[in-house]
C-alpha cells in the first residue's frame, strides 16, 4: 500500500488532548523472557556477565553493559490477537537499554490492541564482548526478527506482519534493520528473514552526519573518530531505497538531545523513494518521554498501522 500522511501540530493538538491517565498503564502483562540465541552467540568474545543496573532504586530500569541478550514476550489474549507482532528496541545511547519506559510499558499497550510485542535486551557495543562492536547490536536486532518469525505459529503471529520499533538509539538500530536488510550480519540469514514489514521510530537517532548526529550514540557504536565509510553506512537517511519498509515517526520539536531534523531527513528520504510514511511532530516533550507525553502519539500510530493493513 502507498499511503503517506503527516499530522500538523494544530490538528494533533485538537484531536489528542486527553487526560494524563490515558497514557499510563498500571497493568502488568504476563511475560516470559528467553535467550535471544540458542547456544553460543555468533561473533561474541568470551566474557563474564558485565550487565548492571544504572540505578537500582529507579522504577524505570536502565540496564548497562548488556552482555547476554534476551527477548521478552508479551502475547495478547488469544481472543484479541490480530496476528501482528512488533519487535521493540529500547533506547539508551548504545550504552544501555531502557527496558521499562521504552520497552515493557509500550508492549503492554500493544497487547491491549491484540498485537504481540517482543522487547529486545540487545548487547551494548563493547570490545569486551563482541568481535566487531559496530554490527553487534544490528546482529541482535536481526536475530530477534528471525526468532519471532521462526516461532510465529507457536506465538500466534503472521510472519508477514512483523515490524520493528525503536526509541532514540534503539530507533537508530530499528532504522538500520529497515535499510540494511539486504546485508544481513550473519551469512546464513536471508534478506526476507531480517526485513521488517514496517518500522516505528520514536525520537530516533537517524543520521551520523556531524550537523545533526547524536555524537554519543555514534561514538559508542563506531568509536572516535568514526571511520568515514561506516559513518556513511549508518547515516540511515542516505540508505533508503524503494524496498525500505513503511515507516511511522514520532518526534518532539523541542528535543535538544536528538534533534528533530533526524526524523525530518528520514521522512524526506522515504518520500523521495515513494515509501509509505507517516509522521507526528509533537510541540513539546523533549527527549525520552516514552509513553508519557501529554499527547497520545500511540493512538495516531495505531491508526497508521490500521491504514497500512497491520
pLDDT digits (tens, 9 = 90+) for 14-25: 344 433 333 333
Q: How many CA atoms lie within 13 Å of 109's alpha carbon, on the beta-carbon side?
A: 21
Other beta carbons within 10 angstroms of residue 66's beta carbon come to: 26
d(CA 207, CA 211): 9
Q: What are the tens digits of pLDDT across the range 150-171?
A: 999 999 999 999 999 999 999 9
Burial classification of residue 80, based on how many CB atoms lie within 10 Å of its CB (0-12 exposed, 13-18 middle, 19 or more buried) = exposed
Please identify which residue in the block is written with the cell numbers 540487545.
122
Check whether 10 has a pLDDT greater than 90: no
Q: What is the pLDDT of residue 283?
A: 93
* Mean of pLDDT values over 101-106: 98
Q: What is the pLDDT of residue 19?
A: 33
Q: What are the tens digits of pLDDT across the range 210-268?
A: 999 999 999 999 999 999 999 999 999 999 999 999 999 999 999 999 999 999 999 99
Check whether 191 has a pLDDT greater than 90: yes
* Mean of pLDDT values over 137-154: 98
| Arithmetic mean of pLDDT over the chain | 91
pTM of the full predicted structure? 0.91
DSSP letter string, 44-68 = B-------EES-TT-SS-EEES--S
Q: What CATH number does domain 4-307 carry, 1.20.950.20, 3.40.50.2000, 2.30.110.10, 3.40.50.1820?
A: 3.40.50.1820
Q: What is the pLDDT of residue 103?
A: 98
Q: What is the pLDDT of residue 7?
A: 52
* Mean of pLDDT values over 49-76: 96
More confident residue, 124 or 46: 124
Of the candidates 253, 230, 307, 303, the one whose C-alpha atom is nearest the C-alpha of residue 276 is 307
Q: What are the tens digits of pLDDT across the range 64-89?
A: 999 999 999 999 999 999 999 999 99
Q: What is the pLDDT of residue 47?
A: 87
Q: What is the pLDDT of residue 30?
A: 67
Check whether 308 has a pLDDT greater than 50: yes
Check whether 26 has a pLDDT greater than 50: no
* Mean of pLDDT values over 110-120: 97
* Mean of pLDDT values over 173-178: 98
Other beta carbons within 10 angstroms of residue 72's beta carbon come to: 18
More confident residue, 93 or 13: 93
Contact 84, 115 (CB under 8 A): yes
Amino acid at each position: 500500500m502507498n499511503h503517506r500522511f503527516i499530522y500538523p501540530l494544530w490538528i494533533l493538538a485538537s484531536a489528542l488532548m486527553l487526560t494524563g491517565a490515558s497514557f499510563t498503564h498500571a497493568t502488568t502483562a504476563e511475560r516470559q523472557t528467553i535467550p535471544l540465541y540458542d547456544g553460543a552467540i555468533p561473533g561474541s568474545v568470551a566474557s563474564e556477565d558485565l550487565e548492571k543496573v544504572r540505578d537500582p532504586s529507579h522504577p524505570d530500569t536502565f540496564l548497562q553493559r548488556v552482555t547476554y541478550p534476551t527477548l521478552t514476550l508479551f502475547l495478547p489474549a488469544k481472543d484479541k490477537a490480530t496476528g501482528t507482532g512488533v519487535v521493540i528496541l529500547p533506547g539508551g545511547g548504545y550504552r544501555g537499554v531502557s527496558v521499562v519506559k521504552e520497552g515493557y510499558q509500550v508492549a503492554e499497550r500493544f497487547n491491549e490492541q491484540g498485537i504481540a510485542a517482543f522487547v529486545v535486551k540487545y548487547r551494548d557495543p563493547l570490545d569486551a564482548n563482541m568481535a566487531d562492536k559496530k554490527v553487534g547490536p544490528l546482529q541482535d536486532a536481526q536475530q530477534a526478527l528471525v526468532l519471532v518469525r521462526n516461532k510465529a505459529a507457536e506465538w500466534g503471529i503472521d510472519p508477514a506482519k512483523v515490524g520493528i520499533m525503536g526509541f532514540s538509539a534503539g530507533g537508530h538500530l530499528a532504522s538500520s534493520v529497515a535499510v540494511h536488510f539486504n546485508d544481513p550480519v550473519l551469512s546464513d540469514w536471508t534478506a526476507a528473514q531480517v526485513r521488517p514489514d514496517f518500522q516505528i521510530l520514536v525520537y530516533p537517532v537517524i543520521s551520523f552526519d556531524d550537523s545533526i548526529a547524536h555524537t554519543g550514540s555514534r561514538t559508542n557504536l563506531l568509536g572516535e573518530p568514526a571511520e568515514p565509510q561506516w559513518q556513511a553506512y549508518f547515516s540511515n537517511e542516505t540508505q533508503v531505497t524503494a524496498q525500505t519498509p513503511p515507516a511511522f515517526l514520532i518526534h518532539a520539536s523541542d528535543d535538544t538531545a536528538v534533534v528533530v531534523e533526524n526524523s525530518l531527513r528520514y521522512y524526506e528520504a522515504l518520500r523521495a523513494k515513494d515509501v509509505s510514511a507517516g509522521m507526528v511532530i509533537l510541540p513539546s516533550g523533549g527527549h525520552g518521554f516514552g509513553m508519557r507525553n501529554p499527547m497520545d502519539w500511540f493512538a495516531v500510530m495505531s491508526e497508521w498501522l490500521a491504514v497500512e493493513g497491520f
